[in-house]
Chain A
Amino acid sequence: MAYPYKKMTREDFDKIRSITDPGRVWVGDEIATEYYRDEMPEYGVFPPELYVEVINKEEVSAIMAYAYKENIPVVCRGAGTGLAGGATCKYGGIMLSVMRMNRIFPIDHKNQTVTVQPGALLLDVQAAAAAEGLFYPVDPGEKTASIGGNIITNAGGMKAVRYGLTRDFVRCIEAVMPDGSIMNFSSNVVKNTTGYDIKDLIIGSEGTLCILTEATLKLLPAPTCSATLVMPFGSLEECADMVPKVLELPFVPTAIEFLERELIEIVERNLNKLFPVKQGEAVLIVMYDASSKQELDSAVEAASEAALANGALDCFIAATPERAGTVWAVRGAILEGMKADSVAQEECDVVVPRARIAEYVKAAKKIALSHGIRVEPCGHCGDGNIHTEMLRGPEMSDEEWKSATHASLKELYALSKELGGQLSGEHGIGNGRLEFLEEFVGPRMIALYKAIKLAFDDKLILNPGKVIEFQQNKQEGNPV
């Protein structure tokens, strides 16, 4: 079986060049170091042996068939904007970039869908839909991510409250299997109970099951108007307690986010982006989309009244794109602001039931403080996905930082589990959260994960060592 993998030779390099084009193949030191890692180098920096940019599914298929035969690991890569250390060559081998496969086919108005290749950027897919009066609502923070990456990691983002995740918008998938065969999972249909729903298993599989070569996405009619409300509160806890009250209203919010004043000031100080609301130690940001001004006004009024009734200092209304832009610009710049304000960061991406957000936030702060770490919880409180950002101050040594974050993460994951939550809401397991997975989901679940992985990838050549790790059995050479 698979372990250990073959170290690539000149013959292998030439073979990949002959399958593709020598101008799209780089080996060894020719490979740009950005392909050694994703957005989180903390989760692993691994040089590929060969980097290839493919242009069609036939090339992907031929490369996979060869890699399968020769026992060479392959990692598929999109825009490299992941936050889990997922798109890296942990065991060397081939890094296969699909970024040249970036076509967005004409919108299918009758089916209200768009078919895309995996390398198309999210922002281009959103713009292509908008140009035709339609709407691709999934809105993760990173707009320059590839749509393929979004699908294969089941990206979420802040509009999940109303619209759901990437998974909810994927009608069907075309993919190349580890042995090179090309398969279609579901088709452009609304319902499907034909056998196991493998499409939904592939979405979020982080490139460990197959390589996506095309997908068809569901679109919606575009909302005609929207407004963003900013509700300032005296504390983060009050802010979190407001979330269920917003959800109780007869209007479905598009997004609910919270921000602490300290975090706003980090962005203002480091990036010179000013927040338009000065009141409050913490603010709740609530966005509504609507198909008429009347509907929007009713939602705004109901939410504003609810905010005041629940202790908000006021409720500020951003109903024009410019005004909403000043709010979201600061929210969107948090990661960048924190990077500028600290030596290093570690992020915990837990998701908890929405009713337990306030409890989680309170306890998370205590946990991090007990390990001497500055912590900034922020994020998608409308869906319970609280990004708990841990920031390293200049005074901490490498060793102190490493042990403090590790200890904090262990406790935070235990806390999430206790509150009925999950380990990762939208960033995935990748390499970065692998060590915490088994304890969280338990050995029976891990056995199930392994069986699924083997059903797709019996030689374990696709993105090995991510999501699920097979240890080499030294006696028999078999993965266990």
Chain B
Amino acid sequence: MKIIVCMKQVPAGNQVDIDPETGAMKRMSSEARTNPYDLFALETALALRERLGGTVTVLTMGPPQAEEMMRDAYTMGADDAVILSDRKFAGADVLATSYVLSQGVRLLGGADLIICGRQTTDGDTAQVGPALAEHLGIPHAAWTAEIVKADESAIQVRQDLGSVSQVSELPYPCLITVDKDSCVPRLPSYLLMKATKDRQVRVLSFADMPDQDLSRYGLVGSPTNVERMFAPPEKERQVYLEGKDGAEKAEKLFDILTGKKII
């Protein structure tokens, strides 16, 4: 069984810098971490490999700094790691990103099963997984909460979709996106860290892509026009009202509540 797991580095914390010209996120500016949902995707893949055999390849589109995330995937047990990196990929929206990933999957010779996290914590669209399946022309099941069963020919998953739960069986090749809390991602292993210290992380660029049509990639290939993007405001902390007596403090509280239009 050949499994590909799509992963992404996202900004750590909620301090995100936005390029005011393009509305795109500045990826170099803050510390990065692995999108938390993708760790659940990788865990799902590793657990399936333990049961069914095969290989797990992690795939990402991003800057060369993504190597750190890929090395982390090695320490969790991934067999192979590929970064799709080129300035021509920069500024990609969901459509262009999923297209680059589909090209990457084709370059890797396809897969029986592709697993993505449900969404990223920066873009929050939850669309890249399904869009990737569409580019590849394979069935997909998004928001998978549980792998009900899996064998050599098909996978059965339970999706929790708002008020309904749906169990679907998908023949390979197919794609699933997994929710968090479907399992607990294993921790990086020190033994694997030592064993994979010299293992290569492959970096592929635009020149390697089967489709050389530049209009499908990066900002040019992105029909989405981002009007404004911003990090949500920091949550407010507890406030102590100082005052000589209850009346004075009540006055201050009244001002705050009316100021916020709560009363």
* A interface residues, Cβ below 8 angstroms from B: 103-104, 124, 127, 131, 230, 274-278, 304, 307-308, 314-320, 322-323, 326-327
Contact = CB atoms under 8 A, between A and B. Distances in A.
A230 B190 contact: no
14 contacts: A124-B238, A230-B187, A274-B184, A276-B186, A277-B186, A307-B190, A308-B190, A314-B189, A315-B189, A315-B191, A317-B187, A323-B185, A326-B184, A326-B185
Contacts of A275: 184
A317 B189 CA distance: 6
Contact of A314 (B36, B183, B190, B237): B190
Contacts of A304: 190
B185 A276 contact: yes
Nearest to A319: B188
3 residue pairs, one from A and one from B, having the closest CB atoms: A316-B187, A274-B184, A315-B190
A103 B187 contact: no
B40 to A, nearest CB: 11
B197 interface: no
A296 to B, nearest CB: 14
B33 interface: yes
Given A308-B191, A317-B75, A327-B187, 5 more contacts: A274-B184, A278-B186, A315-B190, A320-B33, A326-B187
Nearest to A303: B190
Nearest to A329: B184
Contacts of B238: 124, 127
A162 to B, nearest CB: 22
Contacts of B185: 276, 323, 326
A10 B91 CA distance: 77
Interface residues of B, number: 17
A314 B184 contact: no
A317 B76 CA distance: 10
Interface string B26-39: 00000001001001
Contacts of A104: 240
Interface string B103-140: 00000000000000000000000000000000000000
B187 A318 contact: yes
A277 B240 contact: no
Interface in B175-189: 183-189
A161 B113 CA distance: 47
Contacts of A278: 186
Given A103-B240, A131-B237, A316 B184 contact: no
Name A's interface SS: mixed
A21 to B, nearest CB: 12
Contacts of A230: 187
Contacts of A317: 75, 187-190, 193
Contacts of B186: 276-278, 316
Pick the most buried of A131, A276, A308, A326: most chain B CB atoms within 10 A of its CB. A276
A316 B188 contact: yes
Nearest to B240: A103
A277 B190 contact: no
Interface string B183-213: 1111111110100000000000000000000
A442 to B, nearest CB: 47
Contacts of B33: 320
B184 A276 contact: yes
Nearest to B12: A320
Contacts of A307: 190
Nearest to B183: A274
Interface string B72-89: 000100000000000000
Contact of A276 (B187, B237, B240): B187
Nearest to A318: B187
Nearest to B13: A321
A104 B237 CA distance: 13
Pick the most buried of B183, B185, B189, B193: most chain A CB atoms within 10 A of its CB. B189
Contacts of B193: 317
A267 B189 CA distance: 23
A316 B240 contact: no
A314 B39 CA distance: 20
Nearest to A300: B190
Contact of A322 (B36, B75, B190, B237): B36
A327 B188 CA distance: 13
Nearest to B33: A320
A323 B187 contact: yes
Contacts of B75: 317
A277 B36 contact: no
A48 to B, nearest CB: 28
A320 B72 CA distance: 12
A304 B189 CA distance: 10
Interface in B54-81: 75
A104 B240 CA distance: 9
A432 B193 CA distance: 48
Nearest to A320: B33
B192 to A, nearest CB: 8
Nearest to B242: A106
Nearest to A313: B191
Contacts of B190: 304, 307-308, 314-317
A320 B240 CA distance: 32
A276 B238 CA distance: 34
A314 B187 CA distance: 11
Nearest to A274: B184
A326 B185 CA distance: 9
A278 B193 CA distance: 18
A230 B186 CA distance: 11
A114 B164 CA distance: 51
Given A103-B240, A322-B36, A314 B188 contact: no
A194 to B, nearest CB: 33
A277 B237 contact: no
A317 B36 CA distance: 16
Pick the most buried of A104, A131, A275, A322: most chain B CB atoms within 10 A of its CB. A322
B66 to A, nearest CB: 16
A307 B194 CA distance: 14
B10 to A, nearest CB: 12
A96 B210 CA distance: 77
A173 B238 CA distance: 25
A12 to B, nearest CB: 28
Contacts of A314: 189-191
